[in-house]
Amino acid sequence: MLERFPDRVFAFDEFGPLEIRPTAGSCWAKQGNPDRLPATYHRTHGVTYFHGCYSVGDDRLWGVNRRRKGTAISLAALKSIRAARPDGGPDLHRPGQPLAHTGADIRRWAKKNKVELCFTPTYASWANPIEAHFGPLRQFTLANSHHRSHPAQTRALYRYLRWRNANARHPDILAAQRRERARIRSEKGIRWGADARSTARPDSTLCTSPPTH
């Protein structure tokens, strides 16, 4: 499906939780005057989650920041993906594996709207095309940042999305994507606290058949 109909393949997943706190990163600073990372003892802002959508064929990334996760929010994101292909043809959506993506409402909506859901297996985030694009998102909006509020952080995320979609082939973006792909692939088959040799899952390959026209 990815090779034959890339314009009908979309990926979706959450990125977060996002806190309001100083975040480490690299930057330019005056010699002898390094940019210190301030301490935070009270975090009263709560968290948000970025619900990201990615069009494989168009190489376009978009999304929305929400205070929580859930089936209703995931369904709204999938509907925004479907609206990107309003011709009524079949689409393939690749959500991540959390339970918020597998509710009965989502499955009913997908069947009614000619959407094939292709869920990422557990411990196989490397199989979701959107994951590589979360690396640049993290690098260009969160690294070396100290946002004062969630609205300020959200505005930074949206500014990056606008710039990224206008400069999708920028060398810095491509380099950040390569680093993120390498990081994700290095974790392929590894479970936290387990030996990589004993947890490799050669049967986790994601195979799908294209929807019939």
pLDDT digits (tens, 9 = 90+) for 35-48: 777 777 778 889 99
Q: Is-contact 112 83, C-beta < 8 A?
A: no
| Residue 95 confidence (pLDDT) | 74
Task: Say if residue 33's pLDDT is above 80.
Answer: no
Q: Is-contact 114 89, C-beta < 8 A?
A: yes
Mean pLDDT of 46-75: 89
Could you tell me what percent of the chain has a pLDDT over 90? Answer: 25
| Residue 155 confidence (pLDDT) | 95
In a domain, 127, yes or no: yes
CATH of the domain at 143: 3.30.420.10
Segments forming the whole domain that contains residue 100: 6-20+45-189
Q: Is-contact 123 191, C-beta < 8 A?
A: yes
Task: Say if residue 197's pLDDT is above 90.
Answer: no
In a domain, 213, yes or no: no
What is the spatial distance between Cα 120 and Cα 44, in angstroms, rounded to a whole number? 34
pTM for the predicted model, two decimal places: 0.76
In a domain, 128, yes or no: yes
| Residue 185 confidence (pLDDT) | 82
Strand order through the sheet with 48-55: 60-66, 48-55, 9-18, 91-95, 115-117
In a domain, 212, yes or no: no
| Residue 190 confidence (pLDDT) | 55
| Residue 169 confidence (pLDDT) | 93
100: confidence class by pLDDT, cuts 50, 70, 90: low
Alpha helices in 62-125 (DSSP H): 71-83, 104-112
In a domain, 119, yes or no: yes
| Residue 22 confidence (pLDDT) | 85
| Residue 103 confidence (pLDDT) | 75
In a domain, 35, yes or no: no
Number of domains in the chain: 1
| Residue 174 confidence (pLDDT) | 94
What is the residue-averaged pLDDT of the chain?
A: 79
| Residue 162 confidence (pLDDT) | 96
| Residue 205 confidence (pLDDT) | 31
In a domain, 185, yes or no: yes
In a domain, 197, yes or no: no
